[in-house]
Amino acid sequence: MTLVYTWLLLAAATVFSWWLGSTSYNVLTTVFILLIAIVKCRLVIRNYMEVRFAPSWLQLTCDAWLVLNFGMISSFYWFVL
């Protein structure tokens, strides 16, 4: 049942991101959409790739990878644009 709720949350987040991106465009909106994408990635990694049952070092590595990617991509938007 957890996978069904996760799928519904992922679908709702996708629709919300699409709506948000189609209504306005600025740097803050883009970074917020990236944040939603990172949360969606974490849900997929934890629930569909079964990392929630993995050792804690692997869970922390996956989370650190997501945070690093979010930091790099959002800094490109903040400092370049």
Does residue 26 sit in helix, strand or coil? coil
The overall average pLDDT reported for the chain is: 92
The whole model's pTM is what? 0.86
Look up tokens 């979010």; give the residue.
70
- Neighbour count for residue 80 (Cβ, 10 Å): 7
Task: Note down the domain range covering 52.
Answer: 2-80
As for how many domains the chain has, the answer is: 1
Looking at residues 63-81, what average pLDDT do you find? 88
Percent of the chain with pLDDT over 70: 99
pLDDT digits (tens, 9 = 90+) for 25-40: 788 888 899 999 999 9
> CA of 2: how far to CAs of 7, 46, 53, 81, in Å?
9, 11, 14, 39
Q: What is the distance between the alpha carbons of residues 70 and 23, in angstroms, rounded to a whole number?
A: 23
